[in-house]
Structure 1
């Protein structure tokens, strides 16, 4: 699974969802009285804006982890890459999404797919400080 695009997380100030027009027809709306409330996904998905990026992925190497082709990932570059986390790593100049597997014998990046041609990447010998771009904290996709 590769990264197609990246975006920084910059909260927009002053953005507010527009309330629907108050035309009555049929049953009353369950949201009656809540007009004017707004929702900012930044407030729910981004804990550290200066260290957070959005990435659009391509491929199906992480399909069994619930990450699909075209999904949008929220990636926090300030989190440590720990065993079991889904990470974005730089491998041969490419950004890839994999699950980090750490054992006493070494470190691997594992795809989560039924495609047997995608082998685990042994990253034991690589400089860990420059290998990891961030940790995936959220996955957004359309049903």
Structure 2
């Protein structure tokens, strides 16, 4: 899996509140509540929700199919945090033998591997690679064609 573009997160993103309805079921209420009642004073700022440390966060778009089984598809946008220490199970962005790649870090026995989410690609033993971890994927943004 390779990248199309890498963009740094804005160091102080402006607040952008989007409607964020409180989705709760109601029981035992008679009458008909206002449809707009759930929208009152609730907003969601995606920067606040997804970007934990703006100075160490970047975005990148994806090409390739090596991570499809893990929910990362061609054209998706990844939010990557450089401040997170990678651990087994994390999906990481790394420079491997001079190429940027996205893989899951796995511990198998005593050895670390970079594994794809596609059975067509074999796990790569980390000890055999020249690898520099750039960050841990915190979020995947997938847009549907509508």
Alignment partner of 1:99 is 2:83:
no
Query: What whole-Å deviation, never above 9, does each CA across 1:59-86 have from its counterpart, x for those lacking one?
Result: 1100000000000001000101101110
Work out the CA distance in 2 between the residues paired with 1:77 and 1:103: 24
CA RMSD of aligned residues (A): 2.5
Q: Which residue in the other structure is 2:9 paired with?
A: 9
Question: What secondary structure does 2:49 align onto?
Answer: helix
Query: What whole-Å deviation, never above 9, does each CA across 1:102-125 have from its counterpart, x for those lacking one?
Result: 2453211001114x2x22111125
Q: How does 1:30-109 map to 2 (within 5 A)?
A: 30-31=35-36, 34=39, 39-109=44-114
> Which deviates more, 56-65 or 102-111?
102-111
Contact 1:98 1:110 in 2 (8 A): yes
Contact 1:46 1:52 in 2 (8 A): yes
Instruction: Return the TM-score normalized by structure 2.
Output: 0.76
Query: What whole-Å deviation, never above 9, does each CA across 1:19-57 have from its counterpart, x for those lacking one?
Result: xxxxxxxxxx83469588654211010000000111101
Question: What secondary structure does 1:124 align onto?
Answer: helix
Q: 1:65 to 1:15 in 2, by over 3 A?
A: closer
The count of aligned residue pairs is: 130
Unpaired runs of 5+ residues, structure 2, are 19-33
Work out the CA distance in 2 between the residues paired with 1:67 and 1:12: 25
